[in-house]
Amino acid sequence: MGLIEIRQGGNCTVRSIPSPAHSLLPDLSDLQTNKQTILELIEVRKSLEVSNAAIAALKRDDHDLHSLEAILAEMEQHVGDEEVGERTDLLFHLTLAKATHNSILAHLFESLSHQMEIYSNHSVSAQFFHEHRAIYEAIKSKDPEAAQSRMKEHLLHEKSILLKYLAD
């Protein structure tokens, strides 16, 4: 893989990248965890994941659907288990990002993925499962508008929970 260097006048050349492409993406692991940063991360996640849902609805393949189905099955089986809930939530969103078949989108999601984990109780876990199922059904139906809408609803729900905890 390389970068395309475009010069005025029409010359284009492909230049090699000395390090892996994902190292060009921001490292968010050292961000300060404060209310402002969390709100900014929510905003970035909304922009990225709503687009990911729509793209995945158009580009997903059978393998992507099977992977998402397996994650949903595990998520449903362990509703209320915080550790499994956080792991399967992250895995669902990462698998969805990979279903875009765009490596940069997947790497961007990975750079954000460990910043927020909010499986706090059984009712939140159950609601998240139903929201993930609705996102999956829209992707399975190849309906990008519905996938975007379901993802927006899910992320707004997450935001409301995070804001509640930040207010405490």
**79-92 pLDDT, tens digit each:** 888 888 888 999 99
Please determine, for residue 38, whether its predicted confidence score (pLDDT) is greater than 50. yes
21 conformational bin, left if phi > 0, alpha if psi -120 to 50, beta if neither: alpha
Read off the tokens for 126.
């159950």
Q: What is the pLDDT of residues 44-63, one digit of tens each?
A: 889 999 999 999 999 999 99
For residue 111, what pLDDT is reported?
A: 83
How many degrees, rounded to 5, is the angle at CA 121 between CA 116 and CA 126? 90
Please determine, for residue 24, whether its predicted confidence score (pLDDT) is greater than 90. no
Q: Tell me the C-alpha distance between 143 and 139, whole Å.
A: 6
For residue 141, what pLDDT is reported?
A: 97
From the centroid of its chain, how far is CA 83?
Answer: 18
11 band by pLDDT with thresholds 50, 70 and 90: low
Q: Percentage of residues in the chain with pLDDT exceeding 70? A: 75
